[in-house]
Structure formats: C-alpha cells, structure tokens
Structure 1
Amino acid sequence: ACPELGGPFAVVNADDFYGRRSYELLAARLQEAGDEHLLMGFRLADSLTPNGGVSRGVCVVGDDGMLRSITELHDVADVDGTITNREGVALTGDELMSANLWGFRPAFCDTLRREFDAFRAAHADDAKAEFLIGDAVNAGQSAVRVVPTPERFIGVTFREDLDHVRGEIASLVEKGEYPASLWA
C-alpha cells in the first residue's frame, strides 16, 4: 500500500471504536507540516471493561509530549475502584494508553517494510506471531508525539462486552453524533 500513499496516513485497529474527536484531532495534526508521527493517547481508566482483565500499552511520555516508550501491561482491571495489572502494580487510571490509533508520515513506510521483513524471517514458522506497530516505531527510533484525546476507547475484548459496545454506539447515534446507517 505504501507506493499508493500520497501523504500522511492513519493506522487503526478495525475492531475498535476511537470516537469522532480522536479522528478529527489526528487529521488536523497530520495536516501540519513536520516529520513527527502521531499516537492518540486514551485515558487508561476509560478503556477498561467490567468483564475481565485486558492488555493495554501504557505510554511513557516526556515533558515535551513525545513518546518515550510503550509498556504492554496484562490483565489490567478495575477491582473495587483500584486499577492493577497482573503483577499487582497499582495504576492511577490517568495514564495514557495506546489503542493503536497512529498517524504516520510517508517516510515511516521504509521502517515498516524493513521491520516487517525482519519479523517474517524471524517468525516464519509461527502462525500466531503478531507484528506490533509499536515495535516498528521503537526499532525505527521514530519521533512520535502523543496527542491526548478526550474520547473513550470502546472495544470488544470479551463476548460480554458486545451489549455495552452496542449501547454506547446507539447512544452516539441517538445524540446525532453518527448516522443510524453509515451507508445511507
């Protein structure tokens, strides 16, 4: 796809709901000149489900707003008002997390191609291996600005999340933020 790109582009997870404002902020920042890549940061507490622990990439952001690292935490859950992970580390819930809503400049394609080729060679016999965009960002030592978004991240991690997600989206349609049919 890289040869077909005529400018900056977004990378998203197809099964997650990021909210209109997240896309508006990302698009506006990608229109600005510069070579920084972008990552939309979601508040950790706004990304949890009551149906079990989830994996979340928590961002370490410098005072300059630039991404320093992403730490993947597993089994993150809010239990009786206390957010912890598998290791029992207490979290505030205000941490910014990556939900894989990225904005890249075309130059990132070279890094992506190089890192994906290396990944395929290293995992040729592992059909379950997962190529992570964050690993490519780290390997390319790319400058990534984290842009906090006011939106809630909505995703389906567990089957039990589906009714909640449907309700959230129906509420947005009812408020007029989205049409009842995207194809109308």
Structure 2
Amino acid sequence: MKQPTLVVLAAGMGSRYGGLKQLDGLGPSGETIMDYSIYDAIRAGFGKVVFVIRHTFEQEFREKIISKYEHKIPVEVVFQDLDKLPAGYTVPEGREKPWGTNHAVMMAEAVVKEPFAVINADDFYGRHGFATLADKLRSFSDTRDKYCMIGYRVGNTLSESGTVARGVCQVDERGFLTEVVERTAIARGEDGRISFTDENGEVQYLDDNTPVSMNMWGFTPDYFDYSNELFCHFLKALDTNPKFEYYIPLPVNLLVAEKKVTVEVLDTPDQWFGVTYAADRPDVVAKIQSLVDAGEYPSKLF
C-alpha cells in the first residue's frame, strides 16, 4: 500500500521570507509552525513531503528548511510562479496577484501519483488531524473521486486578538460536504456565542462545533485533472473577473454540486492556531509550550 504524500503550500512566503511568521521560532528550541506539521506528518505515516514554493527563494529555502527534513522523510520541491499556466494562456498585462491555493496544488502534479494531503505552511493543525487524514488517505489507495477534509470545530479556531475569516462547511446527514461558504468577521461575543454578519447584514450564530475548513484537504491524483480543466474554464473569464484567484474551495464546491466527487468531513478535537495578528504570537508560544509540557511533542523536534 502506498503511503500518502503531504503537499505543503509555502509559495506565499515570497518577499516575506526571512523573518515573519512562516519562519518565526515559536517552539522551545526555535521550531517554526511548519516544523510541527512535518513532525506530525512523519509520525502519522506520510511517505513524502512536497513543498510548493517560488523560484525566487529556492536556494534559501533548501538551505534553511529542507536541510532539516531531508534525512527524516523524502522531500520534493516544486514551483508556483505567475506564468505557470496551461498551454495557450499567458499572464494578463498588469497581473501581479498570485493565482491562489488551488493553482499551487496543481504544481505538484508531476511528483504526486498517490493519495495526498494539502496544508498551509504557517498553520498549526495538531497531531490528531494528521493521523486521521493519513488513515483515510490510505483507504483511498485504489479509488478516485473520493476526497476528504479535516473539519475543525469553529470554536477551536478563533483568535483572541480580532475577528477571523473561515470557510464554514455545510455537511449532510452522512458527514459529507455539500458546500464551503466563506464567512468573515467571525468572533466570540461577550455573551459567549460565536457570530458573523451575513451578506444581508443579518447577524448569524454558529455552534462551537460547526466544522470549518482550515485548508487541510485529502485528495486522490484524479483531482489534478479536474483542477486543470476548471482552471482553464475560469481563465477564459478573466476579462469579467481580472482579480480572480483559484482557491481550493472553488473547484471543490463545483465538483460536489455536480456530484462528480464526494468529500468526507473528518472531525478533529485539535485546536488550530496561527499568528493571524502580531498580538497572537505570545499566545501561540504558550500553546506550543503547553503541548510540550503535556508530552505531545519533545522539547526539540529535529
């Protein structure tokens, strides 16, 4: 049985590489958030890690990041650049904005031939999520059109420093995704309830256990075919939406709505966290230290 691959979306480091949150030492021995993700992936049984980066910082990334992992797990590097487009398409004049997370996923097609997970480089996901995802992906070895995602409980993803945006998941009675809806300005109020304001200006409330997407997905390789096809479709409409970005929920929602695929939403009790605001840093440091103190992680990972 092939072990699943972990695809880490790290191209967003770009010009920020060298000092901000992606490389900030938050663990007791200077570990970054990404170090914890790789550590959790290794112990969950992932067989390979693929980093999606940009050419502009390849050398630095190889020296400072990959050197830590290359003797622990096989590592591949692929590149997301603005001009990585399907045949017949060119970058529109004046376009500087990246093409989005699903475009980043597409860059891994040449090196991923087995079920794979996708995560952000700068999010702390927790041990349980990786173990759950790896187990499910191993069961997908000889299948297609069956995907999954880790649905974090919204109450475990909030920031004490401000509001957050989350992909709120609509799930059917069988536990399968029907839609991811982006909601902004989510926060816990003084009354303890979690709320956001919808597109009609109405306040809506969310149960603490409502699943949300934190960009932790599981796919089989056929997802690349769907992604390429839909990307071409959207590129044709750039004139009407010049700032278009190809985020993962966009093709997923379309494929689910057309009943071409299923996406199982897998629950995790883990607390997601990240440095959304500068003020979040001390809290993140404290949360990691508490996990180390509880024996979840060693004081030095690698």
Same fold (TM over 0.5): yes
Q: Structure 1 unaligned runs (5+)?
A: none
Task: Give me the identity figure in percent.
Answer: 36
> In structure 1, what residue type is equivalent to 2:285?
R
Point out the more displaced range, 149-158 or 15-24.
149-158
Deviation, 1:153, is 1.1
- Which residue of the partner structure matches residue 255 of structure 2? 140
Decide which structure has the larger Cα Rg and report it: 2
Rounded Cα–Cα distance in structure 2 between residues aligned with 1:41 and 1:32: 18
Rounded Cα–Cα distance in structure 2 between residues aligned with 1:180 and 1:40: 27
Match among 268, 271, 283 for residue 149 of structure 1:
268
- Which residue of the partner structure matches residue 109 of structure 1? 224
Q: CA RMSD in A?
A: 1.9
- Write out per-residue CA displacement over residues 161-182 of structure 1, whole angstroms, 9 at most, x where no aligned residue: 1111111112212222223333
> In structure 2, what residue type is equivalent to 1:94?
N
Match among 146, 149, 153 for residue 39 of structure 1:
149
- Which residue of the partner structure matches residue 61 of structure 1? 171
Number of residue pairs matched by the alignment: 182
Match among 159, 166, 181 for residue 71 of structure 1:
181
| SS of alignment partner, residue 73 of structure 1 | strand
Larger strand fraction of residues: 1
Q: Structure 2 unaligned runs (5+)?
A: 1-107
| SS of alignment partner, residue 169 of structure 2 | strand
| SS of alignment partner, residue 27 of structure 1 | helix
1:113-124 aligned within 5 A: 113-123=228-238
Rounded Cα–Cα distance in structure 2 between residues aligned with 1:129 and 1:157: 23
Rounded Cα–Cα distance in structure 1 between residues aligned with 2:219 and 2:164: 26
- Which residue of the partner structure matches residue 17 of structure 1? 124
- Which residue of the partner structure matches residue 164 of structure 1? 283
- Which residue of the partner structure matches residue 72 of structure 2? none
- Which residue of the partner structure matches residue 84 of structure 1? 195
Deviation, 1:121, is 5.0
Q: 1:115–1:139: 8 Å Cα contact kept in structure 2?
A: no
- Write out per-residue CA displacement over residues 145-165 of structure 1, whole angstroms, 9 at most, x where no aligned residue: 001111111122111111111
